[in-house]
Structure 1
Amino acid sequence: MHRFTLRQLEYLVVCIDCRSVAGAAERLNVSQPTISVALSKLEDQLGVQLLLRHPSRGVTATAAAEKIVQSARNLLAHATDLERQTMDTGTSLVGTLRLGSFSTLAPAVLPGLIHQLSIQHPGISLRLSEGPQDRMIEVLCEGQLDMALLYDIDLPDEIHTTSLAQRTPYVALAADHPLAARQSIALADLVDEPLILLEVPPSKEYFLSLFRDAGLQPRVRHSSPSIEMVRGMVGWGLGYSLLVTRPEGDRTYDGHSLAIRPLRDSARPSKVVLARLATLRPTQLMTSFEAVAVRAMQA
């Protein structure tokens, strides 16, 4: 006989995510005493303390809770799958998928995927998050996301990935830059020019490593975590940039034209991947979205 219920596990997971019993009660639309009593009983049943209560500062997970929280998330997700299968006619999927994306990928990739998902699985809704890749990895590992669109760079071993596309770096120049007359450009041609660096991980380290691998040292003049800010400075002739994500249309927000040229050097390509925790078995929602993403981006 199991010593816990799915409801108790749900209360535990939501308390950890919200970092407070009050926040969990609000999200789940139950009273705080209901959650507190259920969790106290769960701790008694398992014989361990699961939450540290901090007066006026919410709760944090103990080491014991950290050991079981991912398994609890997996169990709850598949319980939801089972419930859905018993209620659905089998012709459609209904539910919410928590999807994250590296901020530079999101505007170039997500709208098309959302469109395809709405056609193929109209019952699936997405709860979207965007941010730096290291933050997306962090919340994915914490279980606050189901999946994330990332670049396959410096990913931890506990992340499972499905390849969606491969991108190669290119050179962005002002339209009237002297190097814009060339069909392709080598790193050696750029090394004495001012670089406008996309300063967001893992892009920053990736671009700098291209020079480092070639035995070159670029001249970084300006940097920004915003790809459109970088493109804007390039459009004003403040320098060149190396980028991977390419927005449709080579014109900046303020109307300047850019010259886009391939990088002549044999640079390492970047893979766009759909990532999830390797320790969690994917739900039907996750496998359905993965199939949509693969078809849409590999077509």
Structure 2
Amino acid sequence: MRTDINKMNINHKGDIKFVMNRSLLQLIVTISETKSFTTAGEKLNMTQPAVSRAVTSLEKELGVTLLIRDRRSGVMLTPVGERIIRIYREILQGYDKVDQEIAREKGLETGSVRIGAFPVAASYFIPKIISRIKKRYPNLEFSIMEGTIADIHYLLDRREIDVGLVIAPEQSDQQTIPLYREGIFAVMREDHPLSAKTIIHPEDLRQEPMMICKAGYEPPVMAWFERANEIPRIEYVLYNYRTALQMVLAGEGLAVMSELSLLDLPPGLKVRRLSPVAYRDIHLAAAPKNERSIAVSLFIETAQNLFPFQTEHEPLIQI
């Protein structure tokens, strides 16, 4: 049965004040995520007219426009809508924390965790973490969003995810926990003259055309060159590590890439160590400890137990 959302009003100093309820908060947030009144209504079992009435009533009571209807782009948030939606997400997370506390008191572990990660981290870490948690707490729910490292930071800032696997920036308001120190290596075709060397130095690559992956992947690589006062000859700027590997395989240049990017190396490529040694640290980013839900805290605890942070370890790849 499709239902409307109830709206409550209370008297306060002679004025009628609007009182939000959980269902209405969820509706507005869902509209902002789906960019559609119809899709949001289907997700929440509401008719499209009921959705429109609820939004119109809310905007009238608040005295501001939250959503703009655009036929091409769908429903878009206004600037004030962007700020308010972030607060609504925080309120909904508070509701979830209450639910989880009640469930824990009753001996039931429930809740949900929204996880964000860049692709190589998602494929390597997340299945192992979720599998471990599910064995003990099968009622927990997980959703996973993949994107660039920049995307994950953006989703964390907007509270659209609860925890993210990121490369921690030098300056950030996000609280991060180191998870894994990932080595950085040179990769080239097996018939390239440099493949005869066991260790690659920055000056070895001075005249070589290079592939660089952007969107948050490149800072440790560029820092390695800068420490040696070398400027790489960048031939291609890419956003996908798989594309970079295929370009190297096609003979279009060399690359300096992270360890997890090289786990499924195509035949015909070779990996070589760097000197000086280079690495990047993968971090878990989440809200401060006192603001995390039980489920999010459990995810972080499990990740740390499975992958205790070490400053030195043997590479996962064959060199």
Q: What range describes the TM-score normalised by the shorter chain of this pair?
A: 0.7 to 0.9
State how many pairs are aligned. Answer: 293
Deviation at 1:172, TM superposition (A): 2.0
For the pair 1:28 / 2:44, whether they are aligned, the reply is: yes
Is 1:139–2:151 an aligned residue pair? no
What value does the CA root-mean-square deviation take over the aligned residues?
Answer: 3.0
Out of 262, 268, 293, the residue aligned to residue 256 of structure 1 is 268
Mapping for residues 211-290 of structure 1, pairs under 5 Å: 211-235=225-249, 238-246=252-260, 251-252=265-266, 255-258=267-270, 260-265=271-276, 267=278, 269-276=279-286, 281-290=291-300
Task: Mark the runs of 5 or more structure 1 residues left unpaired by the alignment.
Answer: none
Paired residue type of 2:218? K
The CA distance in 1 between the partners of 2:297 and 2:57, in whole Å, is 35
TM-score, normalization: structure 2? 0.78
- Structure 1 residues 233 and 52 mapped into 2: Cα distance closer, same or farther (>3 Å)? closer
Q: CA deviation at 1:82?
A: 1.7
Q: Distance in 1 between matches of 2:153 and 2:261?
A: 24
Structure-1 residue corresponding to 2:168: 152
- For residues 1-299 of structure 1, the aligned pairs below 5 Å read 3-54=19-70, 58-87=74-103, 90-153=106-169, 157-195=172-210, 197-235=211-249, 238-246=252-260, 251-252=265-266, 255-258=267-270, 260-265=271-276, 267=278, 269-276=279-286, 281-298=291-308
The Cα offsets for residues 131-182 of structure 1, whole Å up to 9 and x where unpaired, read as: 2222222333333322221111366x34332221122322223344443344
CA distance in 2, matches of 1:207, 1:69: 37
Aligned equivalents of 2:246, 2:59: Cα separation in 1: 55
Q: Deviations over 1:71-119 (max 9, x none)?
A: 2212112212323433456544223322111123222322322322323
Aligned residue in 1 for 2:315: none
Shift of 1:242: 0.7
Cα distance 1:36–1:250, how it changes in 2: closer, same or farther (>3 A)? closer
Q: Give distance in 1, aligned partners of 2:282 and 2:193.
A: 32
| Alpha-carbon shift at residue 26 of structure 1 (Å) | 1.4
SS at match of 1:17: helix
1:280 and 1:8 mapped to 2: Cα distance?
Answer: 26
The 2-side partners of 1:67 and 1:279 are apart by 23
Looking at structure 1, the residues matched to 65 and 246 of structure 2 have their Cα atoms a distance apart, in angstroms, of 53
TM-score between the two structures when normalised by the length of structure 1: 0.83
- For 1:49 and 1:41, the matched residues in 2 are separated by 11
2: distance between equivalents of 1:64 and 1:25? 23
When residues 12 and 183 of structure 1 are mapped into structure 2, their CA distance, relative to the original with a 3 A threshold, is same
